[in-house]
Chain A
Amino acid sequence: EVQLVESGGGLVQPGGSLRLSCAASGFTFSDHYMDWVRQAPGKGLEWVGRTRNKANSYTTEYAASVKGRFTISRDDSKNSLYLQMNSLKTEDTAVYYCAREPAAIPRRYFDYWGQGTLVTVSS
């Protein structure tokens, strides 16, 4: 069974940093591109960014709203995905989901999602 479990959320002050983790199981993590998607309270979904797999050099892409502040990384030996968030703003307050893209090309959707972890940016 595919499972994605996020952790690391919490309360942080504006300008602060936080690192989220996503533990994957039930599939060959290294084969898949992985993404972060967030949802502000009472709002819609917003794509944050993605990391490609080893075969594609672990390259990353980001939404304009987080580029330069957020960094996505992964450790295939630990079946884990990470989101390092720096220079946090109040508008980054959201539930952050990790999501899997399918292994088969083209990878243009998210077939499994975690339950999310809440990040609150407030003084």
Chain B
Amino acid sequence: QSALTQPASVSGSPGQSITISCTGTSSDVGGYNYVSWYQQHPGKAPKLMIYDVSKRPSGVSNRFSGSKSGNTASLTISGLQAEDEADYYCCSYAGSSTFVFGGGTKLTVL
């Protein structure tokens, strides 16, 4: 499968909201409600932020939210904080017990 398409970078000021898109096809993002999002700080392991399109694991701030429309999923971070600066990856179930990730988006908090 081809990687899901994410913008290479997004930025925002503290307190603002940003949205990261994740575009796939009807064989992955559009075909299943199994999109997840991961936050990765430099040199660290990825951390689960959103699963099943819009569900938040316990301990993850409610400033993080997810949604999906057609073949595009989105991660929205509201009330941006300095600690949110990181790389963000989307991931979708792609059928036949396989997964596909997005190329990643670097979030800069100005």
A interface, CB within 8 angstroms of B: 35, 37, 44-47, 50, 61, 63-64, 97, 99, 106, 108-116
A47→B34 contact, CB < 8 A: no
- Could you say which residues of chain A place their CB within 8 Å of the CB of B64? none
Measured CA separation A49–B99 after assembly (Å): 9
If A45-B89, A106-B34, A109-B36 touch, whether A61 touches B45 (CB-CB below 8 Å) is: no
B98 adjacent to A61 (CB under 8 Å): yes
Known: A45-B38, A61-B98, A63-B98. A109 touches B48 (CB 8 A): yes
Indicate if B52 sits at the interface (CB-CB under 8 A).
Answer: yes
Chain B residues contacting A61 (CB-CB under 8 Å) are 96-98
- Which residue from A44, A106, A113 sits with its C-beta under 8 Å from B101? A44
The 9 closest A-B pairs by CB, nearest first: A108-B34, A109-B36, A44-B104, A109-B51, A47-B99, A113-B45, A61-B97, A45-B101, A108-B93
Q: How far is the CA of A53 from the CA of B34 in the complex (A)?
A: 20
Is there an interface contact between B103 and A44, defined as CB atoms closer than 8 Å?
A: yes
| Contact A110 B36, CB 8 Å, known A44-B104, A50-B97 | yes
Q: Does B14 contact A (CB under 8 A)?
A: no
* B38 neighbours in A (Cβ, 8 Å): 45, 110
Q: Specify which chain B residues have a CB less than 8 angstroms from the CB of A108 in the assembled complex.
A: 32, 34, 36, 51-52, 93, 99
- A-contact 0/1 string along B27-47, CB 8 Å cutoff: 000001010101000001111
Complexed CA–CA distance, A112 and B38 (Å): 11
